[in-house]
Amino acid sequence: MRLLGKKILLGITGGIAAYKSCELLRLLQKEGAEVRVAMTPSATSFVGPLTFAALSGYPVFLQSGMLDSKPFQHIDYPRWADLLLVIPCSANSLARMAGGFADEPVSLCFMAGTSAKWIAPAMNSAMYLSFAVQKNIATLRDAGAIILDAPAGELACGEVGPGRCPEPLSVIEMLKNAEEPSSTLPSNGKKVLITGGRTEESMDPVRYLSNRSSGKTAVALASAFCSAGYSVTMVQGPMEAKVPEGIAVIPVKSACEMHEAVMRELPGVDAVVHCAAVADYRPKTTAAEKIKDSRSLLSLELVPNPNILRDSVAAKKKGQVIVGFALETEHAEEHAKEKLEKSGADLLVLNTPVAENSGFGFDSVAYTLVTSSHPGTSVSHNTKVALAKEVVDFVNARLGVQTRA
């Protein structure tokens, strides 16, 4: 099964194994899936819903409602999903779903959902092997749900036997090795080019000038555009974040290589998102041999790199949408407006990596969107997934593509 661009609703029920769902959610996101969460009232006693809201970037569907609740939220969330995972699933939740009850968020989503359903029972061995639980498992399996084995091992209660919740990594492998559900993500016929990661400018065979970009924002953008039905190509500089499967990747290292790749691909896409952290300068010459340590002052002459954003705007065709990024640490709004005007981009994403636990290498960032009609004076702190969704919504609006729920 292809997880890239997959919309997954993660149902969490009451059990100590609920903590594993945090890691599962993150692993699903790393594979390029978009994840939302529903929780039974009992599940919130084990892991707080705020944790899942922060990790997923979306409100959690709870018995008490949601911050942006709608009258038909119990229909909206399951109908949004391509796949429902109930992990972990308690004996009580198994019984409710097998019996057709829909009296809390997870069973409501199970009842209202029309997508593929995967369930991972997790409980004490005696409960797992009981007649009632095995009967409910059989009922759900006969109804088309995929029931994951509950492996044997040491349980939270100290006993040893079957009933453990599968490890998140094994769930990911099972999903990737499974056949694609019958409902697949339709294409909207649009193509987007994204630059990601950083550039490296060689000084000699072993040293280079670079920055600390991890590529996480670019990966979030690639996943969000895939979820919206775009065909995605990434011009990828060096980075730590893993590019989800299914993304066409053009690997580069230097700013000049990235410039060449972008200008080559530009005519064939509908939108370009310049997310990569590109070095403004490069050494004028690259030493053929390693520069020796003489303990004396070293002068390094730098020359400017090509401005990829401005050059792509200058060569854009009618109807194309071009998005730029600006990282500023002081007088941020003033510099962002100036960069927007000079570049001619349709949108500039200003991010300021000064907040604690945000920016380089983190999953959240302080940012604002700047356009000619919107000065972007209010910087907000949110996840990079949320940032990506805002960029996709902007591009959709400019291209006339209907934004998916």
Q: Closest Cα partner for 286 from 275, 270, 273, 301?
A: 301
Which H or E element spans position 12?
Answer: strand 7-12
User: Can you spell out the DSSP letters for 302-369?
Assistant: EEEPP-HHHHHHHTPPTT-EEEEEEE-SSSHHHHHHHHHHHH--SEEEEE-TTSTT-STTSSEEEEEE
Catalytic residue among 157, 165, 226, 275: 157
Closest by Cα among 126, 147, 148 to 138:
147
The single-letter DSSP state of residue 45 is: G
Q: Has 22 been annotated as catalytic?
A: no
Bridging pattern class, strands 83-89 and 116-121: parallel
Instruction: Reduce the DSSP state of residue 11 to 3 states and report it.
Output: strand
* Cβ atoms within 10 Å of 47's Cβ, excluding its own: 18
Torsions phi, psi for 280 (to 5 deg): -75, -25
Q: What is the set of active-site residues? A: 157
